[in-house]
Amino acid sequence: MDKRKVLFIIMTIAIILFATVCVMSFLYNKEGGAQDIKSKTGYNSRSIYVYNLTDSKVELDINSDEKLPIASLTKLMTCRKALIIIRGKGLTLADNGQVTEEAVKLVKRQSEYMVGYEIDESTDFNDLFYAMIMQSDGAAANSLAILMSGDIESFVSEMNEEAKALGLANTYYETPDGVYKKGEYSTAADVASLLRQSLQDAEYYRIFTTRAYISTKTERHPDGIKLSNDVISAFEKYKNKDFKVVGGKFGYTPEAGKSIAVLVEKNGKTYIIVILGCFHKGGDYGHMDDVVKAMNKINR
C-alpha cells in the first residue's frame, strides 16, 4: 500500500480517537460535576434562585450570582426588547410580522427548533412571540430581532443596553435565541430580576403565561398552528405537587445544560424560580425535580 495512504489512515484514526477522548472527557466532567453538586446541595442543578413576588423576598439562593450560559432563557429578554421596540414604532402585536428568510436559514444551519411558520407567511407579531416563548422557536426569535432592528447584531446590542438599564450587572447577550456563543452569560438572580420586572407588563405576562394558542390562519396553515406552553405541559406529569405552574420557559444547550424559568403559585403567593446548569444524567427532568423540591420546602 502507498505510504501516503497508510499515513493518511493513521492520521485519520488518531484524529477520531482524539475527538472521542475529548467528548468523553467533556461528558465525564459534566456528569461528575452534577454528582458533586447534588452531594453538596441536595439539588441537581448548579444554580437555583427562588423569589417570593408576593412578599418581595428571596426564599432560596444557591450560587445565584454565578455567571453561566442560559441557553433559550435568553429569549426572555428578546421578548421584552421586541415589545418595547414594537410600541416605539407605533405598531401592535396584531400587525403583520413575518418569519424572515435570513432567520430560517440561520436556524436550519444551527439545527434549532421551529414550529412550522414558513418564510414570508402572513403571520402577525403575536404568532412570533407565542412561538418563541411557548415552544422556543428560534426562527421566531431571530425574525423579531431582524424586523425590529434591521439585523441581529443591532438587536443584540439593544438587548445588552436594556440589561444595563434594568440593573442586570452580570448579564451579557450574544444572540437573540440563546444558541451558545463564547462570551454570553447571565445568572439565576439576573434572570429572575428580568422576569420580575418584565411580568409587570400586561402583554409580556400574557405571552409568558398562556397555556395554549392557535396561530393566525393562513393559506399555508388554514387551521393555524396549535401551540402549547412547554413548561406548563411538562409539569402536568407531577401529579402530587402542591403548587400551580402559571407560566415558564425551558432552555437547553450542551454547554449550558438544562435550565428553566418558571412562575408558580402556592398558598395564595406567587414565586419566580430560575434554575441553571442542570447536567443531571438520571433522566430528563432533573431541573424540574429541583423546582418541585424547592417549592415543597416553602410554606409546608
Query: Which member of 47, 75, 149, 186 is catalytic?
Result: 75
Q: Identify whether the C-beta of residue 132 lies closer than 8 Å to the C-beta of residue 113.
A: no
Domain residues of the chain, as ranges? Answer: 42-297
List beta partners, residue 274.
Answer: 49, 261
For the chain, 300 residues long, give each residue's pLDDT as a single digit of tens: 566 665 556 666 655 555 454 444 444 444 445 557 676 788 999 999 999 999 999 999 999 999 999 999 999 999 999 999 999 999 999 999 989 999 988 888 887 878 889 888 889 999 999 999 999 999 999 999 999 999 999 999 999 999 999 999 999 999 999 999 999 999 999 999 999 999 999 999 999 999 999 999 998 999 999 999 999 999 988 887 899 999 999 999 999 999 999 999 999 999 999 999 999 776 678 999 999 999 998 876
Return d(Cα 145, Cα 168) in angstroms, integer.
Answer: 20
- Is the full-model pTM beyond 0.75? yes
Return d(Cα 22, Cα 123) in angstroms, integer.
Answer: 44
> What's the pLDDT at 26?
45
Q: Which phi and psi angles does 156 have, rounded to 5°? A: -60, -40
Sign for the pseudo-dihedral over CA of 103, 234, 35, 60: positive
Q: Which phi and psi angles does 282 have, rounded to 5°? A: -90, 10
Return d(Cα 132, Cα 153) in angstroms, integer.
Answer: 18
Q: Say which residues have a Cβ less than 8 Å from residue 224's Cβ, sequence separation at least 6.
A: 214, 215, 216, 217, 218
> What's the pLDDT at 28?
41
Sign for the pseudo-dihedral over CA of 118, 119, 121, 123: positive
Q: Catalytic site residue 149?
A: no
Return d(Cα 257, Cα 276) in angstroms, integer.
Answer: 8
Q: Catalytic site residue 75?
A: yes
List beta partners, residue 251.
Answer: 259
In angstroms, the Cα distances linking 235 to 20, 176, 232, 292, 300 are 36, 26, 5, 9, 20
Query: Which member of 45, 47, 72, 193 is catalytic?
Result: 72
249 is in an annotated binding site: yes
Q: Catalytic site residue 136?
A: yes
257: alpha, beta or left, given left = phi > 0 and alpha = psi -120 to 50?
Answer: left
Class of domain 42-297: alpha beta
Query: Which member of 64, 136, 143, 259 is catalytic?
Result: 136
